[in-house]
Structure 1
Amino acid sequence: MFRTIKAKFIVGFFLIFALSFLVLNQTVKEIIRTSNQKIVTSDLVGLKNNSNVYVRQAFLINHFTNNKIYFGQMAEEMVNDLNHATDSSVSAYTVDGVLLFSSDKSLFAGRTDDDLKQAIKGKTAYNVTYDRNKGAVLFSYPVIIDGTKVGILRFAKDFTLLYEQSGRIQDIIFYIAFAIFAAAFLFSYILSRHITIPLVKLTKASTEVKNGNLNVRIQSRRKDEIGRLAVNFNDMIDRISSQISTIERDRDRLRELNDQEKRFFDNVTHELKTPLTSILGYAEMIREKGEADRQFFDKGMNHIVEESRRLHSMVLKLLEVSHRNSGDEFEIVDTGTILRDVCDSMSFRAKRYKKSIVCETKENLFVYGQADRLRQLFINLLDNAIKYSSPQSKISAKAELDSELVRFIFDNPGETIPPDHLENLFQPFYSAGPKFKEEGSVGLGLSIAKSIVDDHGGSIRLVSQNRQTIVYVDIPYIREEG
């Protein structure tokens, strides 16, 4: 019926306070009624006792023997005396209920006579009638002298003042109680809003999160449990956002790795298929013709040998890419000496391209590594520099100590590589474009170089700008005595 906590709070508090107010009001009314009844009863008992004393004294003074006759004869005098003595209207009746005399007949006429009927039966009775704040009592009792009922006295007493006071007290209590309950209900309503409004905000925020909006936050300055709940909710959303971001990055990374793996196998397949197709073609033609065409036979055999060597070289490079911490043990190696040797050996290859290599190394540049693999690293980087540098250029190879790192710098002039290709150049078979790929190259040199650097705990990065390409390699330095 009520779907919101706010509505349940309001209706619940209203019912509780309304019922409590009604119960309190009825209780107060009953207490006042009972109190008034006790006061009236006590007053009427006193009235009866005083009037009895008066009647008995009148009978004793006059020594009447026929009490019923005397009661009738003295009715007028007795009614007037009691009227003045009790400040009440009085009527005297025979034992059968016949009116003898009344101080004010109008007060007794036209009103209920239940009390009189009870007095005729020998009982004391009274009847209270009240209208709003006015109250009057008709009180009747039989007069008994020496065990004989001689008549009936009936009193009409005004209790308006008593009921007026009771009415005012009841009104005061009513308004005070109403004010208290109204204030309590208002406080309860404010308290319920204080509780439900943050819950409504939390519900809306959680709905937004359910619908995929993770940018929603709950602003709360409260320090109570609801404030802590809001803080925990915001922290939870932050954690969820962080986890989703991590998952998305991992997803994108896996997708990228999957694409790289696909490109890798596509390139491997292509690079292996091309020479194998050429070798197979020449081999089948030589098998058919034999040495009949000597010139074709020599050309085919030379082609088969060259392609076989290229395949062999490609397989060795693929094995190098997959190599991880196998082979020789790590030891202290002087990288400066290795770099000088490599520069000397690669100078002959550079001269074939009409280029030169300038080598500058410091002494005692020791690292903890594998000499053969470091030699392969320098060969690959210098080989790339020779192949992709500008014609008749000068290639620089430096080795120096930078803090706790041995830094190798390979610098050559050439075409500027676009920035978006720099990071991917270390992926197997990746090419920045046709002009950055030499005929016969399979694109594994930089991938092998990165693998070697990673295994030695170092880093490699490539910078290309203003027609100048520089490769930086950093490997942790170790002292010779260490």
Structure 2
Amino acid sequence: MLRTIKGKFIIGFFLIFSLSFLVLNQTVKSVIRSSNEKIVTSDLIELKKNSIVYINQAFLINHYKNNELYFDDMADEIVESLTHSTGSNVGVYSVDGNLLSSSNKTVFSQGIDEDLEKAINGKNAYHITYDRNKAQVFFSYPVVIDGAKVGILRFSKDFNLLYKQSGEILNIIFYIALAIFVAAFLFSYILSRHITIPIVKLTEATSEVKKGKLDVDIHFPRKDEIGQLTINFNDMITRIRDQISTIEKDRDRLKELNEQEKRFFDNMTHELKTPLTSIQGYAEIIKEKGESDPKFFNKGMNHIVEESRRLHNLVIKLLEVSRETSKNRHSDRIDAGTILKDVCESMKFRAERYNKKIICEMDEDLYVYGQTNRLRQLFINLLDNAIKYSLSNSKIMIKAKAVGDQVLFIFKNPSDPYDDTQYTKVFQPFYSINQKVTEEGSLGLGLSIVKTIVEEHQGTIKMFYKENHTIITIELAYMKVEK
């Protein structure tokens, strides 16, 4: 029985190695041939582009029309210029395939080849001729000016080095593969005499694993493939146990993500409710007072407009977060300080409702390259979060200044301390530091949007806790004012 198994191994290895050798050899040839064709095609495409540009410019400079007579007159000049610029032999033909001029008459005096014949019929074509270790490509295409065919350009280019190197690579791979397969076959012959007993033990072990027993552990004191196989088998069992543990952790993580997603949608309700409540409150007061208080009327109408825009931008941003469509926006040179100042003014009323005060300190002419609406949304979200999560009767400090080549924005508010590990998660969607805050929304959406906007402007954002304050810093590239 053992001899039969050994014989099957030898025959099987011989057939496998032989077929693999043939397949590998043919595959390498096919890959190299395909690669050479791609290189030749790419080179010819570039050759055509450059020559077309030259001819179009020549017609334009000489005010020629799309007439083949002009093309005939320019034949010698075309040959001289393109031969010099491309390093190839160039032939200029009439639309009927008659040679008008060439850089090497010997090369182009062999009659009408396949590529030239196709070019006469209005097609681009090339063919390769081989002579021992030499490979020459003939490439022809019709020249069309303003929709009219005026002649034919033909190039002759040597690719001797490319095909010579390809042949050398094929020979090297052939001998290397042959040596590897011969050595492997001889080694498999020796190995087959000692492989049957370990196979039986491995089969028994795999049967135990099939029954669900993962405490199987086998050992063979050998430093060959069988020994490695046993090590791999033991590693596989260990990895299966690890994978089971990972699956259990992923299950718990998925549960946590589902809970975060639920909190996200709950908090989103409050994010949308905030501007709606504000709009409704001002609208009801304006309805009662009418225009009897012009100052309040104007202030209320302005606030309604701003909150309406904020609500609209929030809905748009939700779509962008879900679809990842926040790219390819038009940017301009804008004064970020002015935008932040306007946002601080508009958010003061909201802060006063919570007995909090916003203090703004900023330099003049803080120009950055960005999008006005996106930066406004960035500042609104940061101020809104500062108002929500700052301590009662606190002062929210907002600073903006130029530091070197950057504009630095600092949002600082008194708050309770957070766990250090939370700062790595606050910018993730669905995550909220303070899970108890439900009336005013949470960081589940605001800071994820903030991070997206900062990244759109190639900036950086950091959040940390220091001296009983939560501090968020943003840096954007500074566009200095020319004086």
TM-score (norm 1): 0.39
- Which structure would you say has the larger Rg? 1
TM-score (norm 2): 0.39
